[in-house]
Amino acid sequence: MTFNTLSVVGLGYIGLPTAAVFASRKKKVIGVDINQQAVDTINRGDIHIVEPDLASVVKTAVEEGWLRATTQPEAADAFLIAVPTPFQEGHQPDLRYVQSAAQAIAPVLTKGNLVILESTSPVGATEQMAEWLAAARPDLTFPQQVGEAADILIAYCPERVLPGQVMVELIKNDRVIGGMTPACSARASELYRIFLEGECVETNARTAELCKLTENSFRDVNIAFANELSLICADQNINVWELIALANRHPRVNILQPGPGVGGHCIAVDPWFIVAQNPQQARLIRTAREVNDAKPHWVLDQVKKCVADSLTVSNKRASELTVACFGLAFKPNIDDLRESPAMAVTQLIAEWHTGTTLVVEPNIAQTPAKLAGLATLVSVEQALARADVLVMLVDHREFRAIASDTLHQQAIVDTKGVWR
Ligand code: SAJ
């Protein structure tokens, strides 16, 4: 049976690109979101998130009638759920949005439908979703009840795209397909093959759930290693960037880069799902989270020392000293400030510092609300001309282009090794 109509529930950073890519392959896609504004924006052919190359694909899909958004689920051959899975108090996973999505689609399910969970989830979430669906539809059978004979096929297929490269990675990356039964996996693979150039690698739902968490935990642990080295090197008066570059000359060593901390919506969150379910075993994963979360406070301490040294040298009062923070985004060359360690550090500095705090962020036009009254957004040139202390937080390409011999400041805290 071919897939004619697909429904994507949750039209955010993953759902909207996924809906758009299916629509670009001339499948009828019904996007569902509880946010009426997002629905209206998409139905006008516009987008409410920032992602390179997404706007044109959505525009064409809407204009040609392949993509339509709505707040109410409608019948379809397959449903893909891509809603947020944040953590709540105590770093416990919060599946409320998955539950609402399951309850919202349950009334329109029909025999033969495929339901896929894409949201990053703790192990067992897919089985839990299947239970919610079964409770709402006692007239249908589900894989946990009758295995391969189920009316509704269910799989966990995590997204693994890199923000900023979503439209390429969505198509090129291999896809882990975790069906609740082999038939569920086979059907889900058939769906993704509509656009996928990478391979569909089939497994079960629980392995696929842990696989997604493992990928992001691997990166978090490796970044924590680099961040820990940066602390050790500061104490030993060794340049951490040189150290890592030298160590990486070894054929089996590949250390990542330290920074002001780890941000974004995935790497700083997902490892906690493993820790929450395995508090005794996940010692390294927990420690990595703690190391990375502590980094912004360590950077603040470095800035405090640097300011103290500058006061001694300049004979100025603290209130006369200007600090400039370079970068607010959660990683280079994007405008996404959510969950950004650079933003956290800037806020800590601006709240502590009695003099002027300047911020430079070439990817935004206005001082963010969180920094209103605390810091002023200026250009690279203005910051370099006015500041006594420079704090490098994000290695945007515009900052890498600043020649270090043009800096008149001695007082520099460089968390990204741009001015090493
Ligand atoms: N970072 C460092 N040092 C590094 C690399 C990154 O400090 O050497 C920092 C970044 O500055 C940023 C944070 O880590 O603050 C995360 O950035 P990222 O580029 O590593 O990852 P994300 O959050 O943009 O996307 C990740 C990706 N996961 C992996 O690379 C394993 C992506 O493939 C996932 O799809 C995405 O999480 C997700 O949605 O889970």
Asked if 84 and 119 count as a contact pair (C-beta separation under 8 A), the reply is: yes
SS3 labels along 351-362: HHCCCEEEEECC
Indicate the average pLDDT of the chain. 96
pLDDT average, residue stretch 346-370:
96
Q: Are residues 91 and 198 in the same domain?
A: yes
Last residue of a domain, one of 211, 231, 250: 211
- Crossing angle of helices 205-236 and 283-314, in 10° steps, is 30
Cα distance between residue 8 and residue 400, in whole Å: 39
The pair phi, psi for residue 364, each rounded to 5°, is: -130, 160
Confirm whether 22 is domain-assigned.
yes
Kindly report, residue by residue over 26-77, the tens digit of the pLDDT. 999 999 999 999 999 999 999 998 889 999 999 999 999 999 999 999 999 9
Query: Does residue 286 have its Cβ closer than 6 Å to ligand 1?
Result: no
Q: Are residues 31 and 143 in the same domain?
A: yes
Looking at the annotation, which residues are catalytic?
A: 212, 266
Model confidence at 335, pLDDT cuts 50, 70, 90, reads confident
Nearest-CA neighbor of 260 among 152, 343, 157?
343
Confirm whether 270 is domain-assigned.
yes
Q: Are residues 106 and 30 in the same domain?
A: yes
What percent of the residues of the chain are helix, what percent strand, and what percent coil, each to the nearest 5?
45, 15, 40
DSSP string, 25-67: TT-EEEEE-S-HHHHHHHHTT--SS--TTHHHHHHHHHHTTSE
Last residue of a domain, one of 183, 211, 239: 211
Asked if 209 and 158 count as a contact pair (C-beta separation under 8 A), the reply is: yes
Ligand 1 atom nearest the C-alpha of 256 is 8
Ligand 1 atom nearest the C-alpha of 394 is 11
Confirm whether 230 is domain-assigned.
no
Q: Are residues 291 and 207 in the same domain?
A: no
Asked if 314 and 306 count as a contact pair (C-beta separation under 8 A), the reply is: no
Tokens of 371: 């920094």
Sequence-distant (6+) residues with CB within 8 A of 334 are: 50, 163, 164, 363
Query: Does residue 282 have its Cβ closer than 6 Å to ligand 1?
Result: no
pLDDT average, residue stretch 269-291:
97
Q: Are residues 195 and 299 in the same domain?
A: no
Cα distance between residue 138 and residue 140, in whole Å: 5
Confirm whether 378 is domain-assigned.
yes
Q: Are residues 172 and 92 in the same domain?
A: yes
Nearest-CA neighbor of 30 among 108, 96, 142, 103?
108
pLDDT at 63: 98
Q: Is the pLDDT score of 420 beyond 80?
A: no
Asked if 91 and 20 count as a contact pair (C-beta separation under 8 A), the reply is: no
Kindly report, residue by residue over 77-128, the tens digit of the pLDDT. 999 999 999 988 889 999 999 999 999 999 999 999 999 999 999 999 999 9
Strands 376-377 and 356-360: parallel
Q: What is the CA radius of gyration of the chain?
A: 24
**Among 170, 267, 416, which is best to mutate for testing ligand 1, by the most ligand atoms less than 8 A from CB?**
267
Nearest-CA neighbor of 266 among 373, 167, 166, 367?
166
| H helix and E strand count, the chain | 15, 15
**Among 83, 162, 174, 336, which is best to mutate for testing ligand 1, by the most ligand atoms less than 8 A from CB?**
162
Q: Are residues 181 and 308 in the same domain?
A: no
- Helix (H) / strand (E) element for 310: namely helix 283-314
CA of 223 to the centre of ligand 1 (A): 9
Model confidence at 15, pLDDT cuts 50, 70, 90, reads very high
Confirm whether 217 is domain-assigned.
no
CA of 220 to the centre of ligand 1 (A): 8
The secondary structure of residue 6, as a DSSP letter, is E
Cα distance between residue 387 and residue 230, in whole Å: 25
Asked if 292 and 223 count as a contact pair (C-beta separation under 8 A), the reply is: yes
Q: Residue 66 belongs to what domain range?
A: 5-211
CATH number of the domain enclosing 347 = 3.40.50.720
Q: Are residues 206 and 266 in the same domain?
A: no
Confirm whether 420 is domain-assigned.
no
pLDDT at 411: 94
Q: Are residues 29 and 106 in the same domain?
A: yes
- Quote the number of domains for the chain: 2
Cα end-to-end span (Å), the chain = 59
- Give the predicted TM-score (pTM) of the model: 0.95
Kindly report, residue by residue over 32-43, the tens digit of the pLDDT. 999 999 999 999
Kindly report, residue by residue over 118-164, the tens digit of the pLDDT. 999 999 999 999 999 999 999 999 999 999 999 999 999 999 999 88
pLDDT average, residue stretch 386-406:
94
Last residue of a domain, one of 176, 196, 211: 211
Query: Does residue 327 have its Cβ closer than 6 Å to ligand 1?
Result: no
Nearest-CA neighbor of 266 among 109, 86, 122, 66?
86
CA distances from 371 to 47, 70, 285, 343 (A): 26, 35, 32, 9
Q: Are residues 306 and 371 in the same domain?
A: yes
Asked if 158 and 176 count as a contact pair (C-beta separation under 8 A), the reply is: yes
Cα distance between residue 207 and residue 201, in whole Å: 12
Ligand 1 atom nearest the C-alpha of 173 is 33
Q: Are residues 347 and 287 in the same domain?
A: yes
CA of 235 to the centre of ligand 1 (A): 27
Cα distance between residue 303 and residue 152, in whole Å: 57
